[in-house]
Amino acid sequence: GMETTKRIRKFNKHVPVVALTAVEIEEVRNEIYASGMNDIIVKPYDVERFYQIIKRNLSAGVESISKN
């Protein structure tokens, strides 16, 4: 996921990318953000929180695209 995100960011800075992971270690969190991902959902997750994160990132993606 992180390598793919780095490749995506080379040609698209605006599409939201959200990690879905079972790992919650600060070092991995930093790597995820450094790769260009916008957010992280840690498993197991609360369904309502999942939807909030997805909605927030989709809204931010649309807003970012409309500015350009």
Q: How far apart are CA 22 and CA 41, in angstroms?
A: 8
Which pLDDT belongs to residue 64?
67
Q: Is the pLDDT of residue 62 over 80?
A: no
pTM of structure: 0.81
User: Mapping DSSP to helix (H, G, I), strand (E, B) and coil, where does residue 38 land?
Assistant: coil
Q: Which CATH superfamily is domain 2-67 in?
A: Response regulator (3.40.50.2300)
Q: CB of 29 within 8 A of CB of 65?
A: no
Q: Exposure pattern of 7-21 as b/e (b: 16+ CB <10 Å)?
A: eeeeeeeeebbbbee
pLDDT of amino acid 4: 97
**pLDDT per residue as tens digits for the range 1-41:** 999 999 999 999 999 999 999 987 888 999 999 999 999 99
Q: What is the pLDDT of residue 25?
A: 84
- The predicted pLDDT at position 16 comes to 95
Any idea of the CA torsion for 18, 43, 50, 31, to the nearest 10 degrees? -20
